[in-house]
Structure 1
Amino acid sequence: MLWRSLLLAAGAAIAPGVDAATLRFSCSQLVVERLDPIVNPGANPSPHLHQIVGGNAFNQTMDPSVHDLPSTATCTTCTPSEDLSNYWTATLFFRARNGTFHRVNTFGNELGYTQANGGQTVYYLSNGKVTAFKPGFRMTVGDPTFRSAQELSAKYKFLDFTCLQTPMTRGGQTLDFPKQPCPAGIMVSIRFPTCWDGRNLDSPDHQSHVAYPNNQNQCPSSHPVAIPQVFYETYWDTRPFNNLAEWPVDGSQPFVWSFGDKTGYGIHGDYVFGWKGDALQRAMDQNCNSDLFVNQINCPTLEVQSLQQANQCVKKTSVSENIDGWMTALPGANPIT
């Protein structure tokens, strides 16, 4: 069946098994602003623009020793109402032939979440017993300084782009930005590692405490604890920018990340855990799953809300700058590299 093949494609980073969870849900847009409490804690603004989803406790610091997301947030943009986590990525921009920039909006995944106010689709995947994240856990994946396929593929797995011919396109992923107009937009997929060292909730580089499994899908001895795979799918609405007459004269692709990357190889994502109590562990233990094409989470142990309720959770930006309309430079004046 089509829905099953699409879910298997989404979960390809984890080999399918009998005791497997494929928890998939929508997280509407919370805010778009230049803050990054993991990499640039306390900075207002941070160096580049992010699109953030999840609980409305997101702020510029989020010190895990004093900032408890489940007790601080009053709402979440995610359909599991017990998920007050925050998920964010860099923001996409279109660079026109005349050198000006326009921010690209996100839109609801057309496989079930068309009513979502932008944001992204979030997955929690498992294949067998996993240990849910602990309060204060955070991690990043990817490297914004990378500018080659060799750098990206040598260190990270499953960070890629899909040029959507239709909303159901799966396959043909690339490590760099698509080089031709995409009729249904560009989908960006970001998958985090699935092994934890079992001790550290964070690390100086925000990555060393987690690792990818080996080719046999087994965790290395340095990171023996299997954790759920966190996986983002973000639909970027590049459709308004498909006129080749507005693309660079040399025919090169016109999209850049908000940190100035014109290649796409600097793709990265950030995650701060914020589920209430043991809600995520219960969902993983019960092998919860979700249906495609409808906003349906098959998980009696979880409390859920409608897309309309999720859309109502928003956060006023705390950074005073214009991020809409045409502009002569990226927010933060990041150079194009």
Structure 2
Amino acid sequence: MVVYYFMNRHANGTMATFPPDFRMLSGDSKRRTITIPVPDPPKSFWSEADITQDALRQKAIGFNCLGSDPPEGSLQRHSLPSKAFLDRSCSVGLRLELMFPSCWDGLYRDSSDHRSHVAFPSLVQDGACPDGYPWRLPTLLYEVSWQTTVFANRSGSFVLANGDPTGLGYHGDFMSGWDPALLQSAGEQCTDSSGDISACSLFDVESKPCQFALPAELRSEDYHGPRIGLPGIGLPYQH
């Protein structure tokens, strides 16, 4: 998994940082129907319907066919490709992409639905924030790559762990553990575009083993796999 922090600023040049205990959600685990044009029209032709929060939320999900020729852009495809397509066209696997809202109301660190206190700018990553969201936060992009090639030429289909075969219900959570002052300094001082964290002198890069006791509820669970069904008790596969 790779997490990108894009320091896109407000039109007035300012950018806020995540306050302590800030939380937000991107995506909708219950979505199974896409309501936006496929493929996306060029951004210069986006209409009012293209920049509603519901439309932007759908455009913030990507399924990138790795190894395709020509290469696909980030957030270009918004649903899970068929296994036949993956076997045929994606020689390096599949990358799931999720961008988070970056416009904030400046009032609440969370909300009952974990999304009402934030909004997407008009172009998903760039653009103008809607009325009522005057603060711009760092833009988060989660990338998770899956080695689907291991299952090439085998029968079956891919499905998300929540039972979703469409990919439209892909979603993610963010819970900030940042020191706000440190993140603010990083946004102002660490401007190297290489993605190499060692290029930012504010961080001490260390690799320490993570050791903790296995939770009791997992001790008898076959978490190594492969599993005979989806995670959870009685979670159905949704055709």
Settle same-fold status: TM greater than 0.5: yes
Q: Does 2:55 match 1:154?
A: yes
Name the structure 2 match of 1:44.
none
Give CA deviations for 1:233-286 in whole Å, capped at 9, x if unaligned: 11112121112xx224xxxxx111111001111010111001135111101122
Corresponding residue SS for 2:142: strand
Please report how far the alpha carbon of residue 204 of structure 1 lies from its aligned counterpart in structure 2 after TM superposition: 0.1
Name the structure 2 match of 1:14.
none
Please report how far the alpha carbon of residue 290 of structure 1 lies from its aligned counterpart in structure 2 after TM superposition: 4.3
Q: Does 2:31 match 1:134?
A: no
The match for 1:281 among 169, 184, 207 is 184
Corresponding residue SS for 1:289: coil
Give CA deviations for 1:22-64 in whole Å, capped at 9, x if unaligned: xxxxxxxxxxxxxxxxxxxxxxxxxxxxxxxxxxxxxxxxxxx
CA contact (8 A) 1:200 1:209 kept: yes
Corresponding residue SS for 1:284: helix
Identical counterparts, % of pairs: 36
Whose strand fraction is larger, Structure 1's or Structure 2's?
A: 1
CA distance in 2, matches of 1:224, 1:155: 18
Please report how far the alpha carbon of residue 153 of structure 1 lies from its aligned counterpart in structure 2 after TM superposition: 6.3
Please report how far the alpha carbon of residue 317 of structure 1 lies from its aligned counterpart in structure 2 after TM superposition: 4.0
Q: Does 2:55 match 1:145?
A: no
Could you list the structure 1 runs, at least 4 aligned residues long, displaced by more than 3 angstroms after superposition: 314-317
Corresponding residue SS for 2:62: strand
Q: Does 2:231 match 1:331?
A: yes
CA distance in 2, matches of 1:229, 1:316: 34
Q: How does 1:40-59 map to 2 (within 5 A)?
A: none
| Paired amino acid for 1:213 | P
Whose helix fraction is larger, Structure 1's or Structure 2's?
A: 2
The count of corresponding residues between Structure 1 and Structure 2 is: 205
Please report how far the alpha carbon of residue 296 of structure 1 lies from its aligned counterpart in structure 2 after TM superposition: 4.4
- Structure 2: give runs of 5+ residues left out of the alignment: 37-52
CA distance in 2, matches of 1:235, 1:196: 29
| Paired amino acid for 1:193 | P
CA distance in 2, matches of 1:264, 1:291: 30
Q: How does 1:1-337 map to 2 (within 5 A)?
A: 120-128=1-9, 129-150=14-35, 154-156=55-57, 157-165=59-67, 169-171=71-73, 173-179=76-82, 180=85, 181=87, 182-215=90-123, 217-243=127-153, 246-248=154-156, 254-291=157-194, 295-305=196-206, 309=207, 312-318=209-215, 319-320=217-218, 321-332=221-232, 333-337=234-238
CA distance in 2, matches of 1:144, 1:204: 16
